[in-house]
Structure 1
Amino acid sequence: MARARRRSTRNTATTTRASGSSPLSSSPSTPEPAPEPKTGPTDSCPGCTSESRATFNQFEKENWICCDVCKDWYHWRCAVAGEEDKTLSMDKIDKWFCKTCLGQDSTRTITFKAPTRRSDRKRNYQDYANLSLGLNADPERWQRMLDNKKFKADQFKRMEGADVNLDWLEEDDTAMTEPILIEKPDGLGMKMPDEGLSVEDVAQLVGEDVPVEVVDVATQSASPGWNLGKWADYVELEPSAREKIYNVISLEVSGTELGNLVLPPKLVRDLDWVDNFWPSTRKGKGHPYPKVQLYCLMGVKNAWTDWHIDFAGSSVYYHILSGSKVFYFIKPTPANLAAYEKWSGTELQNTWLGDMVDEVVKVVLTAGNTMIIPSGWIHAVFTPVDTIVFGGNFLHSYAASMQLNIRKIEIATHVPKKFRFPLFTKLCWYVGDKYLRDLKGPNVSYPSRVLSSLLALAEFLVSEVRILERGTEQAKKEVREQIPSDRVKDAATVARELRWRVRLAAGNTSDDESNTVKPSGSGVKRKRGEEEEHVKFKNFRPRRWDNMVEQTAEEEPKVLHAPKPTEQDSGWKERWIDWANEEGEDGDEVRLKRRTDKIVRVRLTNDGLERQRIERVVESWAWW
């Protein structure tokens, strides 16, 4: 059967764009390559003549057809040159032979496909997917809905790319707590394809036969049976000719020719848990890892993505290569997240979530803009014109608490595992193990926001250990499968020691490792009377102080009058503590002894000297 394919003449190695060198590869995506370019401004075929080259238009796509004998590729316009019927469609040909091969064997003849049988009966089409969901099949209903809503104008920061770095994150307590917009990519340390990249280019660089998940905008559900070649054909249609509106929001291109043209912003690479904590030896062939850093999103005019939070509360970088996007944001306050959890996955999802929250902020992005969306922000996206976007998801150490909170919402709302962050728990173990090893080293310090985040991570890992110790056999099996045995040999020790060391680094002055309290909400009930666990950590070494002075001072006993507490009075603790703070005069005579213990210790640090003063006051009240 004759093989035919589309080929854009812009994709050759000899063609240049007006804006600079082409980002595209000259390698076609099919097993049988089209001929390599010879001379002139475009690819040549054996049938090319000086007249055909003169009529060549470099901005139009070329159709190619392959001879079934010699396997040479011909321009279709060259193949029909001199033929009487030049309106013949290439798609109707079954077997095709070039003139040379036809002349070599008189039995060869060009054959055509049998016409498709069509019924003349009119058919009434029902969109059963929409009917079962109770949805209107009109894909433009989202636009009409938006026209009737009110939004708050955004006041998000506009930043220069060079200022979006780790220094900003460490010095500004509000950094990465709300979206920021970078109008130009300069200084971000980011690499993107040429802005002239088309959907056809995407299909050729990734592979026209590569399956792609396409969303039917009217139903917000997947439409099966698509590949990138079919998607490129759809996008080439005029908007008025598109029977339905579709959207592509989950094409991950890592490891492809297109992926080689994309590099996330430097801040993203500095923070990304996958980049920094997942072992490089576990990212090769045969080793699955979370591939969520390089997405190519392709939306057509009037496409809509309904309210959502990116999986596991991951943060997002989002660059508009061409076109425009309109974002609608809801801040992840406890009340708004509760409303989102109530709305998600229920019949309320057919209503406007914005009516259930305090406010919705509207942001318009245009070509060249980059946005960074922090963890947990609820958002929906409208596409006013055909648009190509590159972006990616990343987890990081400033937002573990929010990330874990969103994970709980995903579990509570029964989000299928295929739509959650891949290998999330295993990644958390890699992160926890690395931070534990770092915290054992000398002179290690982290910003308070990171320590707070790490404490949430440690509590999560301890809760996983609790399941290993007391859960069902199935639950134990699922937890065990997520522990990376190449790094974590003793999960219980790693989780508990990480929690203890984070607490110590955050200012817990106790060097006694026996006062580690069990976490609440771990999913495992304590036994009656069980308050504390005593854990001895492997290779434990207390933090070394260069000098330590202890002092104890006792005051002379004094006589006061205080109400004597009794076991029959259940509220005596609160009332007596309030009284003791004021040292009133009512009550029985009591003898008060007070002792003050002081510890002063110092040590050298990379920045100079650190001194720590600890003071503890112990009182003894005795009634006569």
Structure 2
Amino acid sequence: MARARRRQARGTAATASGASPLSSKASTPDPEAAAAVAQAAETCPGCTTDSNPSPSRNRAAVLKENWICCDVCKTWYHWRCATTEPPASLSEDDKKDYTIDRIDKWYCKPCLEKDPSRTITLKPPARKSDRKRNHQDYASLNLGLTSDPTRWVRMLENKTFKKDSFKRMQGSEVTVEWLEEDEDAMTEPIVVEKADGLGMKMPPSDFSVEDVAELVGEETPVEVIDVATQSASPGWNLGKWADYIELEPEAREKIYNVISLEVTGTKVGDMVLPPKLVREVDWVENFWPSTRKGKGHAYPKVQLYCLMGVASAWTDWHVDFAGSSVYYHILQGSKVFYFIKPTPANLAAYERWSGTELQSAWLGDMVDEVTKVTLTTGNTMIIPSGWIHAVYTPVDTIVFGGNFLHSFAIPMQLKIRKIEIATQVPKKFRFPLFTKLCWYVGDKYLRDLKAPAGAEYPSRVLASLLALADFLVSEARTLERGTDQAKKEVKEQIPADRVKDAAAVARELRWRVRLAAGNASDDEGGVVKTNGAGVKRKRIADDDERPRFKNFKPRRWDNVVEKADEGETRVVKANKPAEDDEAWKELWMEWSTGAVEGDAADAQVKSRTETIVRIRRTGEGLERQRVERVVESWEWQ
């Protein structure tokens, strides 16, 4: 009853605002909208005492009510009130087929009486054939799929899986310290059987889909997946989804699944807090400016998802967008995961399989092994970057989870992004604002590395950051020498509020990361290889050993004159520094002027002046540079 009352209030508001409940002027309306009109207006102009719906009519009957609109006065009537008998102007055959679906033009009784020349007409009947035809789901057939939602279950019965050996951890053990100190941390999924110690907040265990619909809003659109075709089913909102969930499993005509309802900023979102580890490493949480989150700002809203699946639902093989990691908590029900490790060979097989005719086949047959993991109520799982997985839902289930990018897995995150581009994943299914987020992250790390106190990072993070720097440098190169369209796309992703000179930020970040990893060179001509232990670098020889950027080609000098003039020799008093004495660095300026007093030895200083004059042509004429350098040689007596 409470649910019916909420729908009545919503329907009244919709009618009062003038919103039309029908998708066409003479067709079966959306049942939700029709019910709203019926409950708001209570009666149509053609209703009689006998035909007017009584309060005792059940809800299902109200939702099936059909309405029709007069083409002249635009007044809506119940179809049952308008169909006492077919118009006399119709032929005998048309009178037999006088239904709302056949109506072309329709007029109410007052409008017909006002102008007798008006005639109700029907659409021409569809051409029929006695030949039997099978309905084909061409969208599914295009990928070699069938419309049978249970085919995966039958397929699973004939497959073998590796026994689950993933680490089981206590919530208190899942910390940043574990991630920094354990080289194997976040390289394979972990399971936390009880949420205690994770620093996580979830809704109460009796939280229902009905509660989700009420707190988020029943009119909120929701993307629903048709399990049979693994494609979106249009026209759903949370109210309609809650109605579907309320049905008994045998009464559900199709099997549907909801896996992408993001609840940030809603009352449900206020009830959810990701695990502490996730919040401490999440790029969106830590690097996206807090002043650019919330209403009126576009930012990656991927941290709080509510997933609602029914029994026998299946989500086919996939990798979470941009290789993001996932936290996944079973509030009610159960999920069965099938995992494939992201080895180079397995990822190559996944790339060949994605979006092609191979997708009708079982991906597990193309890889080395598949691991099966079963989660039940109260379990939490963290899935690392790049892991390929499929999910089966044995019973109706509610899950809360979220995606996060972090600094320990940047190479894999970028690799998955390349696979998404190669397999032409639509942009709406990729990680939102990924490149802009990378610029925010790169800018913050650069600031920290430049700070006077410096910053120290684990070798895993430094190797990972080098991949980020290389990616940003590639973006900068596109900005410098790409096509106009490519330059525009790159520029749109650079956050002007933080990054003023993208090329400088990218290249300095790479240099400082290499320096922090123990390599002082930043030659773009070098080939860089990284591993978990740090950074290895192989340089390509060049006549000029000075670091230069690959895309920097200075104009040659037309003429260069070099000469050296011997200068004077003078004697000054200066303390001779010991070989291991670092104090001379502080006294250098005093020595150079001979201003050191006290116990000092005579030092003979010889100086010479080197002059270089360079001339070259420019677009404005000639450019002449004269550079002088004074070199002093100190010898103590």
User: How does 1:226-375 map onto structure 2 within 5 Å?
Assistant: 226-375=236-385
Mapped partners of 2:203, 2:368: distance in 1? 39
CA deviation after TM superposition for structure 1 residue 65, in Å? 9.4
Change (3 A) 1:241 1:118: farther
Taking the aligned partners of 1:532 and 1:146, their CA distance within structure 2 comes to 60
Q: Offset of 1:518 from its aligned partner?
A: 5.6
- Which residue is equivalent to 1:464? 475
Contact 2:510 2:522 in 1 (8 A): no
Q: What CA distance in whole angstroms lies between the structure 2 residues aligned with 1:387 and 1:214? A: 15
Helix, strand or coil at the partner of 1:305: strand
User: How far is the alpha carbon of 1:500 from its aligned partner?
Assistant: 0.8
- 1:517 touches 1:532 (CA, 8 Å); kept in 2? no
Match of 1:7 in 2: 3
CA distance in 2, matches of 1:395, 1:304: 25
Aligned residue number for residue 465 of structure 2: 454
Aligned to 2:181: 171
Among candidates 479, 490, 497, match of residue 501 of structure 2: 490
How far did residue 197 of structure 1 move? 1.5
431, 439, 443: which one aligns with 1:429: 439
TM-score normalised by L of structure 2: 0.66
Give the number of the structure whose alpha-carbon radius of gyration is greater: 2
Structure 1 match to 2:449? 439
Say what the alpha-carbon RMSD is for the aligned residues. 3.5
Q: Measure how far apart 1:413 and its partner are.
A: 1.2
2:481 matches 1:477: no
Matched, 1:404 2:414: yes
Which of 143, 161, 164 is residue 153 of structure 2 equivalent to?
143
| CA offsets 1:342-378 (integer angstroms, 9 cap, x no match) | 1112111111110111100000000110000000000
How far apart in 2 are the matches of 1:113 and 1:264? Answer: 55
Q: Is the aligned partner of 1:377 residue 2:377? A: no
SS at match of 2:3: strand
**SS of structure 2 residue aligned to 1:248:** strand
Match in the other structure for 2:214: 204
Alignment gaps of 5+ in structure 2: 15-35, 43-52, 68-77, 84-98, 103-127, 530-539, 550-577, 583-637
Cα distance in 1 between the residues matched to 2:12 and 2:342: 49
Which amino acid is the alignment partner of residue 226 of structure 1? W
Counterpart in the other structure of 1:17:
none
Match for residue 194 of structure 1?
204
Deviation by residue 1:50-109 (Cα, 9 ceiling, x = unmatched): xxxxxxxxxxxxx9996659xxxxxxxxx978x7x88994447799xxxxxxxxxxxxxx
- What is the match of residue 510 of structure 2? 499
Question: For 2:486, what is the secondary structure of its paired residue?
Answer: helix
Contact preservation (8 Å) 1:161, 1:187: yes
By how many angstroms is 1:233 displaced? 1.3
User: Match for 1:209: what amino acid?
Assistant: E
User: Partners in 2 of 1:328 and 1:88 — Cα distance?
Assistant: 40
Distance 1:468 1:154, change over 3 A: same
The CA deviation string for residues 269-313 of structure 1, in whole angstroms up to 9 with x for no partner, is 001000000001111322100000011111111111111100000
Shift of 1:126: 4.2
Please state whether the residue corresponding to 1:226 is helix, strand or coil: coil
Query: Once structures 1 and 2 are overlaid, which stretch shifts more, 439-448 or 421-430?
Result: 439-448
Structure 1 distance, partners of 2:544, 2:151, is: 58
CA shift, 1:117, in A, is 4.7
Q: Is the 8 A contact 1:324 1:383 kept in 2?
A: yes
Are residues 174 and 112 of structure 1, via their aligned partners in 2, closer, same or farther at CA, if it must alter by over 3 Å?
same
Counterpart residue number, 1:102: none
Per-residue CA deviations over 1:508-542 (Å, capped at 9, x if unaligned) read 2x3xx664546689xxxx9x99997536xxxxxxx
In structure 2, C-alpha distance between the alignment counterparts of 1:361 and 1:548, rounded to whole Å: 63
Residues 1:366 and 1:65: Cα distance change in structure 2 (over 3 Å): farther
Distance 1:124 1:354, change over 3 A: closer
What is the number of equivalent residue pairs in this alignment? 461
AA aligned to 1:534 is R
Q: TM-score, normalised by structure 1?
A: 0.67
User: Partners in 2 of 1:285 and 1:171 — Cα distance?
Assistant: 38
> 1:36 maps to what in 2?
none
Instruction: Give the conservation status (yes or no) of the 8 Å contact 1:92–1:112.
Output: no
Amino acid at match of 1:391: G
Percent of aligned positions that are identical = 71
Give the whole-Å Cα distance in 2 for the aligned partners of 1:324 and 1:220.
20
Residues 29 and 205 in structure 1, CA contact (< 8 A), matched pair in contact too: no
Which residues of structure 1 form unaligned runs of 5+? 12-27, 34-62, 70-78, 96-109, 536-546, 552-624
CA contact (8 A) 1:459 1:519 kept: no
CA distance in 2 between counterparts of 1:520 and 1:165 reads 31
The residue identity in structure 1 corresponding to 2:485 is: Q
Residues 463 and 519, structure 1, Cα contact 8 Å, conserved in 2: no
Match of 1:7, SS state, is: helix
